Amino acid sequence: MFEHNISPVIFTIGPFSIRYYSLLFACAFLLGLYLLKKVIEIKKMDTNLVQPLFITIFICVIVGARLGHVLFYRPKYFFQHPLEIAMFWKGGLASHGAAIAILIGVIIFSKRHHIPFYKLADVLSVPISIGTSFVRLGNFFNSEIVGRVTDVPWAVKFLRFREPGGSPPQYRHPSQLYEMCIGIIIFITLWTLLKKKRDALQDGCILYLFMFMYFVLRFLVEFVKEYPFIISGIPLTTGQYLSIPFIIFSGYMLFVKGKIATKGHTA
């Protein structure tokens, strides 16, 4: 067991502070930019797309993830404190909001540049998958989105987490690290598939496999996250309810429409 008392601030110079969350968020985008270029090269697409596509996704992630957190999880608080909506560096980003915004952004980008939607979506799925890991590690340093109370050997006591009712800190699941591992697993899977089956995969396969794996695993991790149930008597969290449409849709596209099949062997 581990007692977590790490300050979320790395260092401060006057009014300026560098936080682990902000640093990891920046690293996620820098790595994402590098991987985006690599994947576009692997797919033999125009490398001139890298910069405008990256900027589009950057804006979609920031705006969508933040608005998703505001609207899905804490609407009452942020409507009372509207100036804090823009303070994403303090934590509070929702992957469901980011997913919706990215899908909208890719649709618009594909139409403007006359590129098939699935080609762009497949390319983006690889860097986005590993980017989620950096964000969750940032959540861990922020002592937020903690897991439920547990006595497992790897439990963490978040000393900076404000326990409900002001009770003493308790050992909890490090659910942020579970989700960090989800991103790593999915990235390795997608990268390996892309490298080995690049010419055989149907357009859209990478996208729907990413969505299906991420939201199924996210659904499972939610069982150990400290979020209140939204309907009395039903043990599902807000995150699980938001994941269900993504799971159903991506699963349908993979296993019913045949996007998981290779070219020439669709269902």
pLDDT, tens digit (0-9, with 9 covering 90-100), for 149-186 = 999 999 999 998 888 777 888 999 999 999 999 999 99
Could you tell me the residue ranges of all domains in the chain?
2-202
Given a cut of 60, whether residue 52 has pLDDT beyond it is yes
pLDDT, tens digit (0-9, with 9 covering 90-100), for 197-244 = 777 788 888 999 999 999 999 999 999 988 765 555 677 888 888 899
- Cα–Cα distances in Å, from 168 out to 143, 162, 174? 15, 9, 17
- Calpha distance 30→22 (Å, rounded): 12
- Calpha distance 236→223 (Å, rounded): 8
- Residues linked to residue 17 through DSSP beta bridges, in sequence order: 12
Residue pair 49/115 in contact (Cβ under 8 Å)? The answer is yes
Longest CA pairwise span in the chain (Å): 62
Report the candidate in 93, 102, 89 with the shortest Cα–Cα distance to residue 73.
Answer: 93
- Per DSSP bridges, beta strands 2-4 and 156-158 are parallel
pTM to 2 decimals?
0.82
* Alpha helix segments (H runs only) across the chain: 20-42, 50-72, 75-80, 95-113, 117-141, 175-197, 205-221, 238-255
Percent over 90 (pLDDT), the chain: 35
84: tokens are 């804090």
Tell me what the mean pLDDT of segment 184-202 comes to: 88
